[in-house]
Amino acid sequence: MSKRIFVGSIAWGTTSDGLKNFFAAVGPVAKADVLTDKMTGRSRGFGFVEMESDADADAAIAKLNGADLDGRKLVVSEARPKAE
């Protein structure tokens, strides 16, 4: 598994497929998820992307941090491990 990428400041209307297609411009995407609220089903404004290689993940972080997607400037960084 390659590096997991945190993507913040996602527009409310952005879908997981839209996020995956956006990152696919940099390289092959293994998985992309926009997290949603369990009660309302509405986007929580952030998500995670996994690229197929670490090199592609590093390139995506460098190239897409601050990039515009659906009218919002994304915050893209390497995801931190989940706290215990």
pLDDT in tens, 3-60: 899 999 999 999 999 999 999 999 999 999 999 999 999 999 999 999 999 999 999 9
For residue 78, give the nearest of 53, 64, 57, 63 by alpha carbon: 57
CA distance 28 to 51: 6
Domain boundaries, the chain: 4-78
- Residue 14 in contact with residue 34, Cβ under 8 Å? yes
Residues with Cβ within 8 Å of 17's Cβ and at least 6 positions away in sequence, in order, are: 32
Please list the residues that pair with 7 across neighbouring strands: 47, 76
Assigned superfamily of 4-78: RRM (RNA recognition motif) domain (3.30.70.330)
For residue 7, give the nearest of 39, 28, 35 by alpha carbon: 35
What is the pTM assigned to this prediction?
Answer: 0.93
